[in-house]
Amino acid sequence: MGFGELVLLAVGLSMDAFAVSVCKGLSVKKASVKESAICGIWFGGFQGLMPLIGFFLGTMFAEAIQAFDHWIAFGLLAIIGINMLKEAFEKKCDCCDEKNADFSVKTMFVMAVATSIDALAVGISLAMAGNVNIYVAVALIGAVTFLLSGLGVKIGNLFGNRFEKKAQVAGGVILIALGVKILLEHLGVL
């Protein structure tokens, strides 16, 4: 997987965290640098950690499933992408509730885990895809999520929930496209 594809993957994975960060920004009267940094650190950290865990889990089983690993990678990315699209179109805005105004460790931990579960599955997919420097991928995913989450707080505070649905749709499409690409490469079409 090339650098450009890793950037797209990082952007796609960060869209859930971005959408939650937009809600966080909506829920506060004035978004501070501290609140942006809190979201960036929690979401970026977990989005970076989970693919690493998934990658190592995937490599433990790589030899046993080598014949159909590309189908697993495609399936995981497609399922995650479809779920992101489904959530984007079903979601009603509950951004301004008091839960979203809470930046406590307990709340941020739960939200960081919830938004990064898909990154665990992507880590497994990266193990199946092969030719990926997982440390570069993890650093890039964490950094992109950190930046977009911090920016999401500010955007939510300034512009409202206009970008939440679009971010989730973009993330879903990117993940599905990457899954299709992995499948087509392993089938020899690309």
**Each residue's pLDDT tens digit, 16-61:** 888 888 878 877 778 889 989 999 999 999 999 999 999 998 888 7
Interatomic CA distance for residues 135 and 72, integer angstroms:
22
Cα angle value 95/9/183 (rounded, 5°): 125
The one-letter code for the residue type at 132 is V
CATH of 3-186, one of 1.10.3470, 1.20.1250, 3.40.30, 1.20.1440: 1.20.1250
Would the pLDDT of 161 be above 60?
A: no
The one-letter code for the residue type at 122 is V
pLDDT tier, 92 (very low <50, low <70, confident <90, very high otherwise): low
Would the pLDDT of 149 be above 80?
A: yes
Would the pLDDT of 167 be above 80?
A: no
pTM, full prediction? 0.73
Number of helices and strands in the chain (H, E): 6, 0
| Cβ contacts of 182 within 8 Å, gap of 6 or more | 70, 73, 74, 77, 125, 128, 129
For tokens 């080598």, name the residue: 66
48: nearest Cα among 125, 129, 146, 128: 146
Average pLDDT, the chain: 82
Q: Helix, strand, coil % (nearest 5) of the chain? A: 85, 0, 15
53-83 pLDDT, tens per residue? 999 988 887 677 667 767 877 887 788 778 8
- The more confidently predicted of residues 6 and 98 is 6
For tokens 């992101």, name the residue: 84
